[in-house]
Amino acid sequence: MNSTFTGVTSQEYKYGFVTDIEADSVAPGLSEDVIRFISAKKGEPDWLLDFRLKAYRHWLTMTEPDWAKVAYPKPDFQKIVYYSAPKAKAPKYASMDEVDPELKRTFEKLGVPLNEQAALAGVAVDVVFDSVSVTTTYKEKLKAVGIIFCSFSEAVREHPDLVKKYLGSVVPYSDNFYAALNSAVFTDGSFVFIPKGVACPMDLSTYFRINNKESGQFERTLIVAEEGASVSYLEGCTAPQFDTNQLHAAVVELVALDQASIKYSTVQNWYAGDKDGVGGIFNFVTKRGLCKGRASHISWTQVETGSAITWKYPSCILLGDDSIGEFYSVALTNHKQQADTGTKMVHIGRNTKSTIISKGISAGDSSNSYRGLVKVQPKAEGARNFSQCDSMLIGQTCSASTFPYIEVQNRSARVEHEATTSKIGEEQLLYFQQRGIPAEEAISMIINGFCKDVFRELPMEFAVEATKLLSLKLEGSVG
């Protein structure tokens, strides 16, 4: 039986090409000078440089966390390139025609919907290539209803008051080691502002891609939905194939005011390293949403299939009364991949509700852990949580773990936790094969069935992509 599953491991990384574009980079290493360089390069105001320097000084006092169930050589932070921007004829593109044709071909290979097809699909894309946002589509259309959707750098220039008001308000620079690092050196990212009462007329989408071999990607995303506003945001990630590890330490902050709703969906397919565990992205990301207002709603949906190491806990702080937090996750690991992912739901307001659905799939020699905290604070009268964490194992040499932490400080709270572990074993596979269905299709069907509760939370085109991606990741010479 083992041989049936070893073939599952032979999937080649489809996005493993490098784009040859002259990059404008700083020398590797981190110091206050590098931070000043980045800040100056971007023409930032003093308050932002201060924010960066405070973060950097705090970061120097911190040590890398080691409580996660992942093992890896600690990155040498002095070997990382902290700023790498594609050189361009002009600092800004007025239209797609001005974009480097090489870059456009890259996006075509990635399948990024930047062209007319994007228009038909109704997707506005803010593309981050290494660290600088290349182009933002649909800005005008969104502008008409008062929505701001732009690169983080542009937001700093054009809307400094908004950025200053909300930056670090959900994830303070002192929050954790990687968040502090990001706060010191972030180069770009996305900014979204949905004004009061506006429902964003289309899904907003950002595609991240790490291109430069030694560069870390430290993007910063800030999404603010004012009273009664709503938005659905999609994030897709890929990275080319290198035999060295690349660090990705992003920070995403979401703020939802009264009755606002933010839905954040991610399909993550960073390069995972080869089958022996060489290379791949270290993905250490801090994502947190603040349900600040009454009856606000934040929903995280993630499909994590890539990265050598995943360390990621998209969380919700349920501050406003009657607010709702949701976390839907599929994490697939194969070969030597390690994932320690989950969520935190912190109930502070009254009658707050949270739902956690986590599906972990492990194959090959991988390790896949769910780590989740449900915390009900003393004043969270009537708080409710439902958690379901299911693990599926494929083959004999992978592992799955579940670490649920539950802290309840209010007696009226109701917290339910369910967990299952199952195996795509011989019997299941034989059952499908006995009905004439080949092993690969059988695995794909079983996996998609297993993930159904999460996939139905994804926007349509993402759900299709996610389904394909999982099949692709487990494809090989099964049988």
Partner 1 sequence: MLSIKNLTASINGTPVLKGIDLEIKAGEIHAIMGPNGSGKSTLGKVLVGHPSYEVTGGEVTFDGKNLFDLEPDVRARAGLFMGFQHPIEVPGVSNAAFLRLAYNKKAEAEGRDELDPLEFDDFIREKIKLVSMKEEFLDRSLNEGFSGGEKKRNEILQMAVLEPKLAILDELDSGLDIDALRVLGDAVNRLMRPERALLVITHFPRILETIRPQFVHVLSGGRILKSAGPELAVELEERGYDWVLEEAAAGGSR
Task: Quickly list DSSP for 461-477.
Answer: HHHHHHHHHHHHHT-S-
Q: Least CB distance from residue 267 to partner 1, whole Å?
A: 19
Which residue in 448, 461, 471, 475 binds partner 1 (CB under 8 A)? Answer: 448
430 binds partner 1 (CB under 8 A): yes
Select 412 or 422, whichever has its Cβ closest to partner 1: 422
64 binds partner 1 (CB under 8 A): no
Select 308 or 469, whichever has its Cβ closest to partner 1: 469
74 binds partner 1 (CB under 8 A): no
Partner residues linked to 375 by β-bridges: 346, 407
Contact range with partner 1 by CB under 8 A, out of 143-151, 183-191, 210-218, 437-445:
437-445
Which residue in 414, 431, 468, 477 binds partner 1 (CB under 8 A)? Answer: 431
Q: Least CB distance from residue 398 to partner 1, whole Å?
A: 18
Three-state secondary-structure class, residue 25: strand
437 binds partner 1 (CB under 8 A): yes
CA-based angle 403:407:412, to the nearest 5? Answer: 135
452 binds partner 1 (CB under 8 A): yes
Q: Least CB distance from residue 220 to partner 1, whole Å?
A: 36
Contact range with partner 1 by CB under 8 A, out of 91-99, 198-206, 209-217, 446-454:
446-454
Closest-CA residue to 240 (of 106, 145, 359, 367)? 106
Which residue in 74, 89, 411, 435 binds partner 1 (CB under 8 A)? Answer: 435
Cα separation, 463 vs 395, in Å, equals 26
Q: Least CB distance from residue 345 to partner 1, whole Å?
A: 24
Neighbour order of strands in the sheet with 414-424:
132-136, 123-129, 203-209, 230-238, 261-269, 297-304, 324-333, 353-362, 384-394, 414-424
Q: Least CB distance from residue 52 to partner 1, whole Å?
A: 46
Select 15 or 455, whichever has its Cβ closest to partner 1: 455
Closest-CA residue to 309 (of 343, 272, 344, 275)? 272
445 binds partner 1 (CB under 8 A): yes
449 binds partner 1 (CB under 8 A): yes
| Distances from the Cα of 254 to the Cα of 297, 315, 343, 425, 460, angstroms | 11, 10, 15, 41, 22
471 binds partner 1 (CB under 8 A): no
450 binds partner 1 (CB under 8 A): yes
Q: Are 234 and 153 in contact (CB under 8 A)?
A: no
378 binds partner 1 (CB under 8 A): no
- The contacts found for 452-458 with CB under 8 angstroms, 24 or more apart, are 453/328, 453/357, 453/359, 453/388, 454/301, 454/303, 454/328, 454/329, 454/330, 454/357, 454/359, 455/303, 455/330, 457/265, 457/299, 457/301, 457/326, 457/328, 458/265, 458/267, 458/301, 458/303
Tell me how many residues contact partner 1 (CB under 8 A): 26
Which residue in 85, 148, 155, 439 binds partner 1 (CB under 8 A)? Answer: 439
479 binds partner 1 (CB under 8 A): yes
Scanning the structure block, which residue is given the tokens 């194969």?
334
Q: Are 431 and 446 in contact (CB under 8 A)?
A: no
Which residue in 451, 463, 470, 474 binds partner 1 (CB under 8 A)? Answer: 451
Select 10 or 420, whichever has its Cβ closest to partner 1: 420
Binding mask 4-23 toward partner 1 (x if CB under 8 A, else -) reads: x-------------------
Select 225 or 443, whichever has its Cβ closest to partner 1: 443
Strand 280-291 and strand 245-248: the pairing is: parallel
Contact range with partner 1 by CB under 8 A, out of 102-110, 190-198, 269-277, 449-457:
449-457
Task: Quickly list DSSP for 176-229.
Answer: -HHHHHHHHH--EEEEEEE-TTPBPSSEEEEEEE--STTB-B-EEEEEEE-TT-
Contact range with partner 1 by CB under 8 A, out of 181-189, 333-341, 369-377, 425-433:
425-433
Cα separation, 179 vs 315, in Å, equals 14
446 binds partner 1 (CB under 8 A): yes
**Identity of the residue numbered 112:** V
**Identity of the residue numbered 180:** A
Residues that bind partner 1 (CB under 8 A): 1, 4, 426-439, 441, 445-446, 448-453, 479
